[in-house]
Structure 1
Amino acid sequence: MSSFKRSIEDASLNGFHKKLAFSTSGSPFLDGYVLSIIGVIMSHLTSALQIDLFWEGLIASAALIGLFFGGFLGGWFTDRFGRKMLYVIDIAVIIVISIAQFWVDSAWLLFVFRLVIGVVVGADLPIATSLLAEFLPRTARGPLLASMVVSWFVGAALAYGVGEMLMRVGGADAWRWVLASAAVPGLLLFIPRMLTPESPRWLISKGRIAEADAIIKRIYGPDYCSRDLPEPATKKKVSVASLFHSGYGKRMVFVTLFWTCSIVPLFAIYAFAPKVLQALKLSDDMASVGSIAITVLFVIGCLAATRVINTMGRRPMVIHSLLWSGVALAVLGMFPDAAPVVVLFLFGAYAFLIGGAQVLQYVYPNELFPTEIRASGVGLATSLSRIGAAAGTYLVPISLASLGIGPTMLVAAAISLLGALASWWLAPETAKLDLQQASALDGCATAR
């Protein structure tokens, strides 16, 4: 017989959780792959499709525009219609659009395809992370959600590797194969997603208790049921409008601020790493090596943060990550003429230290909003943070040309330090709480 004192969130990590972690990690992987793959073929598209600078810019930014709209829309649809349905439909659309790109014959059609695939990939993030968060035991929730960030870098790196290989062996139409290549990881993820059950938490929030019980028994055993899942039926229902007022509005402000402040300097520096390093008077060869080293240190920093996220805690991690990475950028800004080894050390320190804030982008939003609006909260934060990322990426070359490298680094430092200040003011601690406690306004999640 089930006991009300027993919680599924205290159960051990099992094979189902590991398979789900693999299939959901495909979301940030495809995000990194889709965003990066266009850069490999852009110069070839100019001649193949006879596109001018106007269309070149639109095609390059189409996926980012789509990601902005897809994040919130995907979250809203997921909260309304369920995790499972959108989880499967999303990957199916990615496969179909990726393959359709092979036959594109005009700039406007490629722009439409890239826009749609951006919408779908953007929608996939709140779908996948909310689904994973709602199944995981509390001790595994932070590390596994955090580790998904690394999948973005893997996807981006693989896109460049696969793209370059196909361009070398594929002939005049190689760029078509490069665009269509995103269908391959999509196909690998399709069957695992088809076999994934609906979230019991979402089913309970809709009053579908019997269906939730059946899924819980299948995953955890016949002795478990919905009474063992800390997801009580709430007396006061919340809606998407709750993200814009009262307690959840404050949490939305925090998530948006720390997410934006952690990715604006990172996206800007990552996109223009060689140019930034050259501006700091590094040679071309050292700038190229430094760019690779920075990427590696980004990944190492994320992996290190994943290992200590439970022991260090969410609140100290986000504050210290943004604070000390901002300090590294500030020192760069004050001493732009430092020796090359010092410049590389400071950039490396920034890349490593920002890992804590990066991994929390997938953890905090899923913990701070209840099941009814969890995916909507993640999606809205994703969309809003993309505005800052796009603006920062656009302004870096302008800032380098008009202000110079020193002031540009100081601006980047100020953004990171603003994120640290906002986190000190607003960040809750959720590491030891179950998902229902962390998302409850009257629970312990507000304790600092």
Structure 2
Amino acid sequence: MTTPISIEDVPLNRFHQWLSVRCGGGWVLDGYVLSIIGVAMVPLAAALDLNGFWQGLIAASALIGIFFGGFLGGVLTGRLGRQKLFFVGPTIFVLCSVAQLWADSGMALFLLRFLIGIGVGFEYPVAGSLLVEFMPRKHRGPRLAMLTILWFAGAALAYVVGNLLLGSGEADAWRLVLASPAFIGVALLLVRIGTPESPRWLLSKGRTTEAEAVIQKVYGPSFSLRNLPEQPAEKKVSIADLLHSGYGRRMLFVAVFWSCSVIPVFAVYAFAPKVLQALNLSGAWASFGSVAITLLFVVGCVIATKLINVVGRRSMLIHSFLWSGLALLGLGYFSAGAELLVLVLFGAYAVFIGGAQVLQLVYPNELFPTEIRSAAVGMGASLSRIGAAVGTWLVPLSLQGIGIGNTMFAAAAVTLLGLLVSLALAPETRSMSLQEAASLAR
């Protein structure tokens, strides 16, 4: 009897491509909605007479929301399924983005963007788990990495659209800037209609008939559960397993490396014009420099995506932290340097950090079994956002208190901490099936 082909070894089909659009659209929207505040910050601060404290708090509010949304979304996705939670994030984005048209105080903006952050927190475990549990192993790493590219593409789009709206001459144009994510959110809700539940999650809940029906619908009538390599484990794992044994070590690695890779990035995105102005880039240099650097983040992620199955996960993460950390050290040392040198160093950081960025979704989705995969992704997103929120809140205070040079040195220290943790704990999961990658026996 011939061994049935595993669904992890089938070629990409139309469903895989369509699912990539459905999941990837969430990351475009995440990048857009989290970055748009950086475009609107200067005019809204003036219009609402906000001091540095409130500017930092509003910029960090969505990150604080991610902390709660990641935990909640991860737990609920594990219990209720991926499909049911697939519409929560976009719905929150639409409602809260539109509501910002009438925000009249720093507190109102803080609360609305906090809720937006909760929606983003739901996206990480829901869309990531759904995509990885359908994707063949050969394409799993690149497709998960693609989500990060789309996040930066959404961030770049936010700066382009935001600057166009601010330049329109409309009164209170910053309100239109903050409300603009609603259009993407509506489109995303429509495109996600008809998405099936993950057969791996159904199988983990003992719903074998439904799991087989999904497999046959996606891969064809000749496929069945025999083509799914992952079978229910003899010993069930629970969320508590994320805190001890081998999974506790993996959770520590994911939380620390994810935090160290996002803290400098979110701080830059929230206050890109201010950071660039502090580095002696003013006027058009500051406005369009932020767009150019964001595009270089995309370039770095594209390069990393192309190399992820070539150099492996561990090697890519180590080199990403090493060279991006050195670029930040250069920015600290040459903070008063020529405009071109500053742009080159900032651009180098943007390109080199791409490896760590794309692995934020690859590692947590590969290192944990189906029962706790979404919880692990949600916990990683939540814990990483604690540092990101604090770092973002401190940026305006840091620029004013210790200057741009020391601020860049602090960002370099965070990045090099990620390097040390990766050297000690980063595993290699290239070419493994999901069951092999998540196994503690290897």
Instruction: Say yes or no: TM over 0.5.
Output: yes
What is the DSSP-based 3-state SS (H/G/I as helix, E as strand, rest coil) of the residue aligned with 1:10? Answer: coil
| Amino acid in structure 2 at the alignment position of 1:30 | L
Distance 1:325 1:43 in 2: 28
Unaligned runs of at least 5 residues, structure 1: 444-448
Distance 1:130 1:20 in 2: 12
Residues 175 and 427 of structure 1, relative CA distance in 2, 3 Å threshold: same
Unaligned runs of at least 5 residues, structure 2: none
Equivalent residue number for residue 142 of structure 1? 141
Distance 2:306 2:230 in 1: 28
Equivalent residue number for residue 386 of structure 2? 387
Distance 1:195 1:338 in 2: 54
Matched, 1:129 2:123: no
Alpha-carbon contact 1:328-1:347 (below 8 Å) kept: yes
Aligned positions of 1:294-309 closer than 5 A: 294-309=293-308
How far the C-alpha of 1:72 sits from its partner, in A, is 1.2
Equivalent residue number for residue 348 of structure 2? 349
Equivalent residue number for residue 377 of structure 1? 376
Distance 2:219 2:298 in 1: 33
Aligned positions of 1:151-170 closer than 5 A: 151-167=150-166
CA RMSD of the aligned region, Å? 2.8
What is the DSSP-based 3-state SS (H/G/I as helix, E as strand, rest coil) of the residue aligned with 1:68? Answer: helix
Distance 1:309 1:334 in 2: 32
Matched, 1:263 2:292: no
| Amino acid in structure 2 at the alignment position of 1:259 | W
| Amino acid in structure 1 at the alignment position of 2:264 | P
| Amino acid in structure 2 at the alignment position of 1:134 | E
Distance 1:309 1:347 in 2: 23
Distance 2:99 2:409 in 1: 44
Residues 31 and 229 of structure 1, relative CA distance in 2, 3 Å threshold: same
Alpha-carbon contact 2:215-2:225 (below 8 Å) kept: yes
| Amino acid in structure 1 at the alignment position of 2:357 | Q
Query: Over residues 258-301 of structure 1, what are the superposed CA-to-partner deviations in whole Å (9 max), with x where a residue is unaligned?
Result: 11111222233444445445555556655555444322211111
Alpha-carbon contact 1:146-1:363 (below 8 Å) kept: yes
Aligned positions of 1:83-94 closer than 5 A: 83-94=82-93
Residues 177 and 329 of structure 1, relative CA distance in 2, 3 Å threshold: closer
How far the C-alpha of 1:106 sits from its partner, in A, is 6.4
Aligned positions of 1:151-190 closer than 5 A: 151-167=150-166, 171-172=170-171, 176-190=175-189
Name the stretch that deviates more: 150-159 or 318-327. 150-159
Distance 1:439 1:35 in 2: 31
Aligned positions of 1:10-409 closer than 5 A: 10-42=9-41, 53=51, 58-102=57-101, 108-167=107-166, 171-172=170-171, 176-280=175-279, 286=285, 290-336=289-335, 339-409=338-408
Name the stretch that deviates more: 271-280 or 386-395. 271-280
Equivalent residue number for residue 435 of structure 2? 436
Query: Over residues 359-413 of structure 1, what are the superposed CA-to-partner deviations in whole Å (9 max), with x where a residue is unaligned?
Result: 1111111111111111111111111111111222233444444444444333322
| Amino acid in structure 2 at the alignment position of 1:154 | A
Residues 51 and 240 of structure 1, relative CA distance in 2, 3 Å threshold: farther
Alpha-carbon contact 1:31-1:122 (below 8 Å) kept: no
Name the stretch that deviates more: 400-409 or 417-426. 400-409
Distance 1:323 1:57 in 2: 29
| Amino acid in structure 1 at the alignment position of 2:298 | V
Residues 264 and 96 of structure 1, relative CA distance in 2, 3 Å threshold: closer
| Amino acid in structure 2 at the alignment position of 1:226 | L
Distance 2:332 2:43 in 1: 37
Distance 1:334 1:109 in 2: 39
| Amino acid in structure 2 at the alignment position of 1:365 | P
Distance 1:108 1:323 in 2: 39
| Amino acid in structure 1 at the alignment position of 2:411 | A
Alpha-carbon contact 1:72-1:379 (below 8 Å) kept: yes
Distance 1:107 1:404 in 2: 26
Query: Over residues 6-60 of structure 1, what are the superposed CA-to-partner deviations in whole Å (9 max), with x where a residue is unaligned?
Result: 2100000111111111111122222222223344445665687x67547666544
Query: Over residues 325-373 of structure 1, what are the superposed CA-to-partner deviations in whole Å (9 max), with x where a residue is unaligned?
Result: 1122234434555554443333222211111011111111111111111
